[in-house]
Structure 1
Amino acid sequence: MATRAHRYLPVLLVLSLLFPVATQAASGSESFQKGVAAYRADRLEEALAHFEAARDAGLDKPSLYHNLGTAYYRLGRYPEARRAFQRLLDDPGSAALAHYNLGLVARKLNEPETAREHFRAALRSADNPKIQRLAADQLPERETTRADRSPFSGLVSLGGGYSDNVTLQPDDGPITSGQSDTFLEALAAGTYQLQGDPDHGLQLKASALILDYADRNTFDQTYLRAGLEWDRSSGPWALDLAAYGDWITLGGDPFERVVTGEVDALRAVTATQDLRLRYRLSLVDGANRFEHLSGTRQRAGAEWRYDSEAYGLETGYELEYNDRDDLPDASVSPIRHLGYLETRWKLARYWEVDLAGSYRFSRYQDPHRTPAGEVTREDTRIRGEVGLSRQLPWKLWANLEYQYTRNDSNIDFADPNYEYEANVYAIRVERFF
């Protein structure tokens, strides 16, 4: 009868075999594909020979070392399996699964304490609930309590950049300067597990973003957020209920206070695909000269996501309904339709490329009064983004990003803010913990 460890290892690692990726060398790619085919046919010796040929041809992808380790393990060549899995420990996206597999290898080599250390590391570092559960199954129950996992996770990001049209772009509508400037940016975000675990528990979340322009100080922005999230998993569905408050300043003065309630449902369709449904209700309190923005904002959306080791794709739609106080001669209560597409490629071991695009149509519910008469405002916004990321030592990431935005309006003659273009270039250094 197969052991639990033997059953689980192919289940996890075969995912990388089902989604092979293009490699830098044509010969390595060809050998890798032949190895995939041989593995699927359970011809392990032949598969291993092809994977080794791909490695010798210069292929250097995490998926190759996953597959090498799996083939070595199933053939009983445990020291070689260990060396293959150890190659993945420096890759953030692969480290948790690598620790789990190294634990299985250590057990085969009769190294129980080393195995426990790897299972503990997998449990602490895994974001994937499947890996967390598998690692927990390999440890005594007393070791899988909340005390064995860090209750805190977060992100710190520092960066700067240049905009050729400094623009405040809250959800309520753009305010543009028509002027260029450089900026500095700092972001900190954290989550603390108050009760239970990420699948069944209560979390405290907080974040802060500071945007400081060199000359256009009236566009300096601060975003503060704090709230609670309750998570629950049942079968293929994961349900999140959240409530949080935002405090936003503009040019050092209060801009908006927002209280939001959110319902988020996620369903795993396959091992690499999921469907997300989301609804948010926000109560907005506009400050000072922005009191007309006070009111409610509702959003409902659906998103489909595919995520494999080397490639990711997200696409979705969101409907937004606003009911604001409005101005005497202008509506700030649009109904909006947003469609978006985001994709990610892992080019090499430490490099990633991200591309994103979105289209938003807004129709305001009451007519605007203009010199030409009453006109119902309609806007279209197109946005495109491209990013390049590089993994650095000490769990750091460096990011280069370019963003293009164009907003068109049928009443641009009434206010120059309604129609604009902006190009933003940014560089950031991030650390997750």
Structure 2
Amino acid sequence: MNKLAKIRFEMMKNDRFIRVSSSRLPGTPMPFVLNSYLVYFLTALIFLFSSELLASAESDYKLGMESYRAGDNAAAVAYFESALKQGMDSIALQYNLGSSYYRVGRYEDAKKYFNLVNQTEAMRDLAEYNLGLIAIKEKDGSLAIQYFNSVATTGKDEKLIRLSKKQLNALTSSRKEDRWTSYLSFNLGYDNNISSVSGDSVLDVADSFYDLFASADFLITGKRMDGWLAGASIYGIEYTETDTNDEYHFALDVKRTMKLKDWDTSARLSLSKSTYGGDDFQHIARLDLKGRKAISKRGRVYLRYWLEDISSDNSIYDYLEGWRQRARVEYRNYSLNNIKQVYYELELNDRGEIVTSTDTYDYSPTRHTIRAIYTHIITMQWWLNGDLAYRFSDYPVSSTIDREDDQWKLTLSTDYRFDRTFKFTAKYQYTDNTSTVDRYTYDKSIIKVGLSKLF
């Protein structure tokens, strides 16, 4: 006799009723009769069926594991899918289902479950390693390198770190370098103070805008990490209501990259031409030196130096002509779900003299900047960014002016990454500049959204 029949028999044999009553008052309902065994029956029924479902899911999961170990991957997929449909939803099931999909060549399904597993920190190394294997199968070497590099540099599992480094060596030694790469971004935005002037100025104008940036580079010889490259770029911003603040920048460059012991280095020489408000503005010759070194599994040090020779193409802006030097030291830390960056930058200027109706002084500030950036990786698609910078500017003292500026800049943004090359960004930026000269005190807010694509 099965469980349900036994329960039904016992209820018929011992049929009793419990009468629940209270002192009757006028208008109160009649006492009611409750069959206690009906409650017991329903409870037992629910328990019985839920237990049977759970047992069935666990049974299918075990059968899936047996099939997986035996190499019967199609059967493993069927059993794991059955367990999932019956309500089992564990990390182990997600991982084994992803592995089974990978074995039968269902890579899109495998990626779905490995990305779910990737959200559990303890399983991230294993998930990203498998996502790298899928990228190899899909012939996406760049993405595979990205996943294996993540495990090799931020992982905790020593075995997976070794395997990832082995995959990286194989990929980099056999991979054919892309001769051309290009980048494109487009944004729409709103700026409530397009001229960055004090609130009582007639130039304190708000306007919407769009901006566009495009760049391309060509590998002349060698490899991208050790070779010669040539590049070109264009940037433009145009406002809706006024064209006096429209800007365009055009640049050509040549770059040499090389490995110097533990340092990845590059030297870039560029020439740029810019316009402002539709008129010629300036051209700049720039030398840009960079170095990067790993100091721990997750820590990187970056060094950078710029030297710029700035020439004016418009007499209105002759005071900007001269030399500018900048030097930066930066530290970055990469962990499983966040990236932390902090840097200090020194800027020295040897520019011209600015003359106004009220004062005269050298436009050659010494600037000190401290900046911290925190990126939180919610999922592989959603990233949040917080960016806070402070800059102190000290201008040479003249007989008519002693100018010092304190500037704070806060930027908050979120990225949605459709894939490693294509993303949507929404950004808010607030700037507060306080100066010892009132006309240079201002604040401004910029909001913009846009798309960017790496080709």
**TM-score, normalized by length of structure 2?**
0.66
Give how far 1:309 is off.
Answer: 4.2
| 1:401 correspondence with 2:427 | yes
**Cα distance in 2, alignment partners of residues 140 and 280 from structure 1:** 30
- Which whole-Å deviations, capped at 9, do the CAs of 1:5-43 have from their partners, x for residues lacking one? xxxxxxxxxxxxxxxxxxxxxxxxxxxxxxxxxxxxxxx
Q: Aligned to 1:122, which of 138, 141, 151?
A: 141
Q: Aligned to 2:193, which of 156, 161, 165?
A: 165
Change (3 A) 1:286 1:213: same
Contact 1:165 1:176 in 2 (8 A): no
**Cα distance in 2, alignment partners of residues 271 and 359 from structure 1:** 29
Give how far 1:297 is off.
Answer: 0.2
Residue type of the alignment partner of 1:101 = L
The equivalent residue for 2:36 is none
SS at match of 1:217: coil
Change (3 A) 1:304 1:57: farther
Give how far 1:237 is off.
Answer: 1.0
| 1:266 correspondence with 2:266 | no
- Identity of paired residues, percent? 21
Residue type of the alignment partner of 1:337 = H
The equivalent residue for 1:204 is 230
**Cα distance in 2, alignment partners of residues 427 and 176 from structure 1:** 28
Give how far 1:401 is off.
Answer: 0.5
Give how far 1:378 is off.
Answer: 0.5
Structure 2 unaligned residues grouped into runs of 5+: 1-82, 119-123, 153-163
SS at match of 1:193: strand
SS at match of 1:245: strand
**Cα distance in 2, alignment partners of residues 233 and 390 from structure 1:** 33
- Which whole-Å deviations, capped at 9, do the CAs of 1:219-265 have from their partners, x for residues lacking one? 00112222111111133211111111221211111112111112211
**Cα distance in 2, alignment partners of residues 198 and 402 from structure 1:** 34
Change (3 A) 1:135 1:167: farther
Q: Aligned to 2:340, which of 298, 313, 326?
A: 313
User: What does 1:378-389 correspond to in 2, within 5 Å?
Assistant: 378-389=404-415
| 1:151 correspondence with 2:179 | yes
Contact 2:101 2:110 in 1 (8 A): no
Contact 1:222 1:250 in 2 (8 A): yes
The equivalent residue for 2:133 is 101
**Cα distance in 2, alignment partners of residues 176 and 281 from structure 1:** 35
Q: Aligned to 1:423, which of 445, 449, 452?
A: 445
Give how far 1:216 is off.
Answer: 2.1
How many aligned positions are there? Answer: 341
User: What does 1:8-407 correspond to in 2, within 5 Å?
Assistant: 68=95, 79=103, 86-87=111-112, 98=130, 100-102=132-134, 121-122=140-141, 126=145, 134-135=166-167, 137-138=169-170, 143-144=174-175, 148-167=176-195, 177-288=203-314, 289-328=316-355, 329-367=360-398, 369=399, 374-392=400-418, 395-407=421-433
Give how far 1:333 is off.
Answer: 0.3
Change (3 A) 1:188 1:133: farther
Find the structure with the greater CA-based Rg.
Answer: 2
Change (3 A) 1:99 1:179: same
**Cα distance in 2, alignment partners of residues 338 and 330 from structure 1:** 22
Change (3 A) 1:202 1:165: same
**Cα distance in 2, alignment partners of residues 56 and 306 from structure 1:** 37
Change (3 A) 1:195 1:134: farther
Contact 2:327 2:347 in 1 (8 A): yes
The equivalent residue for 1:411 is 437
Change (3 A) 1:102 1:327: closer
**Cα distance in 1, alignment partners of residues 332 and 264 from structure 2:** 15
Give how far 1:150 is off.
Answer: 1.8
Contact 1:168 1:176 in 2 (8 A): no
SS at match of 2:193: coil
- Which whole-Å deviations, capped at 9, do the CAs of 1:167-209 have from their partners, x for residues lacking one? 369xxxxx99311111011111222222111221112222211
Change (3 A) 1:82 1:270: farther
**Cα distance in 2, alignment partners of residues 327 and 177 from structure 1:** 19
**Cα distance in 1, alignment partners of residues 225 and 242 from structure 2:** 44
Change (3 A) 1:234 1:85: farther
Contact 2:128 2:148 in 1 (8 A): no
Residue type of the alignment partner of 1:79 = R
**Cα distance in 1, alignment partners of residues 226 and 442 from structure 2:** 45
Residue type of the alignment partner of 2:363 = V
**TM-score, normalized by length of structure 1?**
0.69
**Cα distance in 1, alignment partners of residues 280 and 349 from structure 2:** 21
SS at match of 1:218: coil
Residue type of the alignment partner of 2:352 = D
The equivalent residue for 1:20 is none
SS at match of 1:292: helix
Computed over aligned residues only, the root mean square deviation of the Cα atoms, in angstroms, reads: 3.9
**Cα distance in 1, alignment partners of residues 385 and 217 from structure 2:** 25
**Cα distance in 2, alignment partners of residues 396 and 97 from structure 1:** 22
Give how far 1:162 is off.
Answer: 0.7
The equivalent residue for 1:106 is none
Residue type of the alignment partner of 2:219 = Q
Contact 1:284 1:293 in 2 (8 A): yes
**Cα distance in 2, alignment partners of residues 191 and 125 from structure 1:** 22
Give how far 1:308 is off.
Answer: 3.2
Moved more, 398-407 or 191-200: 191-200
Residue type of the alignment partner of 2:448 = A
Residue type of the alignment partner of 2:103 = P
Moved more, 148-157 or 203-212: 148-157
